[in-house]
Structure formats: structure tokens, C-alpha cells
Amino acid sequence: VVVSVTNDQPRLLVVGENEISGGRGDSANASLTGGDALPYGPFDPTQHRTLESGLRAWVSEQTELDLGYVEQLYTFGDRGRDPRERQGGPRLVSVGYLALVSETVSVPASNAKSNATSNATWQNWYHFLPWEDWREGAPLILERVIEPHLSAWAEEGESEFERDTRHERIDLAFGFTTNSWNEKLVLERYELLYEAGFVQESLRDRGCPIALESDRAARGRAMLFDHRRIAATALGRLRGKIEYRPVIFELMAGEFTLLQLQRAVEALAGTRLHKQNFRRLVEKGGLVEPTGRFESQTGGRPAEQFRFRRDVLLERLAPGVKLPGRRHTT
């Protein structure tokens, strides 16, 4: 999951429209077009000393990108991840990694090195998980489309216990009745939507041939295999990590204004923050130092430019950027 932030949007490196080769004319045929895919590839143990070095080599082979920060995300090994298993394909186990790429480095990856299969592009993360972006307030689709769908699904439960459990899970993840949104529960929300048959992948994986045509925007774009689940795992993890490690700076250019920094955090967190308090935390935390230069194309008063104080990584356990109370006011 290769991430960057440009134009105040979180972006994912995506290798477009994949064809799954495999089944020939059987019922699973409807699912052969997997949609966008996360970049993935085989690991060759004879070539690479570690999983991470294999990943880095593979990415720089496929794209122009040089990954900076990389961390292991999760290992996915459920049966049926790759529908070709049904046609006797091998059981794939994928070790997912999260990689952060700085804004300046992020060359559009389409100029891949002489590799026909690689047509990678940067896509807005929220195209795949549209309900996760609360920066302009609660997304309308939540109340209009998602809540009714999930409620109906909860009521379909066999037993009263199951119905109750479903309602509780929904409420915890989406906060409909408590009116509270926890931006970190990305995976929990995706899993509910998958179970409830709201996202295309769940129908596809059940071998259901019908594509969901209504509310396409609300359902988000489908991805190959379980890649959308992996993308959700990554977003949840990153939203958590931002708060306790200074990973946000891996996504910034070398110099930035505090508002630019705030916008990047907001883009990933999917919420707006209180500006003054955000500054207080960042500056008090000793995470940045002023460069003395000013950015004057701000459209307002020029903002001082800052850089990340890399030394804090050594001085102490650098704390990351707390989300200072999601802004409820101006």
C-alpha cells in the first residue's frame, strides 16, 4: 500500500484494471475483472535477504519510486482471497506492507521502467472508501444509503442474538446513534459493509453475477481480490500511527508551512482540526523547526516554512501528531 498526499488528498498507488486469468466460461466468469489493484508481486527468497528488501527491490523495478518509510502491515492468508483457487490455483499468502512516499518524490508512476504490465497511477484513497472522508462534515451517503442498507442487513439476522450483535457492531463502527465517529475503525467499517453485501467485492466473492449499479459513488470503487480490505487495514493503521509516531513527515516535502502539515494530517485522518491547537501541539512537541523562509503564495498572510527536526527521532521517542480534538467549531 504505497501512500502519498497531494493536493490535500491522500493517494494510493494503483495498478489499473486487472484481468484475472483463470476460469473459462463458468459461473464465476462475472468476477473476472477485478478492478484496480494494489501493486503486488512475488517474493523470491533466493534473491532477497528480507521480506522488506524484496519489497523495495520489486517496487523500484516496477516504478520509478524509491520507497522511504516502510512498515509491515499484516499477512493475509484467508482461503478464497484469489478466486482462481476455485479453479485449482494455489493458495496465496500475501505479506502486506505500508509505504509512505514524500510529496516531491512522487513522480506519477506511469513512466514505469520498460514494463508493459505496470500502468500505475495515483488514485484518491477515498474513491475506494468514500464514507471515510469527513472533512466536509459527515458524508451524506452515510445517512442516505449506508445506514439504511446496514439496518436492513442487521434485521435479516437469523436469531435475535445475531440481529442484536449486528446492530451493536454497526453502531460501534459507524456511531449512528451515539453520533460519534472514530476515524480509526476503518477496517471494522469495511468488514461490515462487505458482510452486508454493500461493496461489490462481497457479491463478486459469493459468485453473484450482478454488478451493483445503484449508488456507485457511495459504494466506492471495487478492487482486485481483497485489496480493498488491505487498503482499509492500511488506512486504519496509518490513522492510528500518525498520533504516536511522527510518520506524517514522511509524506511531506522537505519544507512546509504548518497549514500544509495540518492539511496532510486532515487528509489522512479524514477530519478537520482546530488550527491553533494543532500548532501548539506540533511546536511544543519540538517536532519542527522554522527555516526563516516564508511562503507567500498562501492567499493571505505569508506563512513561515518549517522543516522536520530529524534529531527528535534520536533524542527521544518522538510522539507524532495528536489529533487535537476534531474541530466542532470554526
Partner DNA sequence: CTATTAATACTCAATTTGAGCATTAATAGA
Partner DNA sequence: TCTATTAATGCTCAAATTGAGTATTAATAG
Kindly state the DSSP code that residue 181 receives in the 8-state scheme.
Answer: -
Residues 224, 22: Cα–Cα separation, whole Å = 14
Task: Tell the burial category of 269 from Cβ atoms under 10 Å away from its Cβ (0-12, 13-18, 19+).
Answer: buried
Q: Does 91 bind DNA (CB under 7 A)?
A: no
Contact partner, 302, from a copy of itself, DNA, none, Cβ < 5-8 Å per class: DNA
Please, which of residues 17-76 interact with a copy of itself by CB under 8 A?
Answer: 43, 45-46, 48-51, 72, 74-75
When binding is defined by CB under 8 A, the residue of 17, 26, 66, 78 that contacts a copy of itself is 78
- Smallest distance, DNA to C-beta of residue 292, A: 11
- Smallest distance, a copy of itself to C-beta of residue 23, A: 20
- Smallest distance, DNA to C-beta of residue 137, A: 15
Nearer to a copy of itself, 96 or 324 (CB): 96
- In the chain, the N- to C-terminal Cα span, in Å, equals 34
State the maximum Cα–Cα separation within the chain, in Å, rounded to a whole number: 66
233, 276, 3: which is closest to 132 by C-alpha?
A: 233
304, 330, 182: which is closest to 243 by C-alpha?
A: 182
Q: Does 276 bind DNA (CB under 7 A)?
A: yes
When binding is defined by CB under 8 A, the residue of 206, 296, 317, 325 that contacts a copy of itself is 317
Q: Does 301 bind DNA (CB under 7 A)?
A: yes
Amino acid of residue 213:
E
214, 234, 261: which is closest to 5 by C-alpha?
A: 261
Beta-strand (E) ranges in 141-263?
A: 256-257
Nearer to a copy of itself, 52 or 289 (CB): 52
Please, which of residues 168-207 interact with a copy of itself by CB under 8 A?
Answer: 168-169, 172, 178, 182, 185
Beta-strand (E) ranges in the chain?
A: 2-6, 9-19, 33-37, 69-76, 94-100, 120-124, 256-257, 288-295, 303-308
- Smallest distance, a copy of itself to C-beta of residue 51, A: 4
Please, which of residues 212-271 interact with DNA by CB under 7 A?
Answer: 257-259
Residues contributing to the site for DNA (CB under 7 A): 257-259, 274-277, 279-281, 296, 298-304, 322, 324-330
Residues contributing to the site for a copy of itself (CB under 8 A): 43, 45-46, 48-51, 72, 74-75, 77-80, 91, 93, 95, 168-169, 172, 178, 182, 185, 314-317
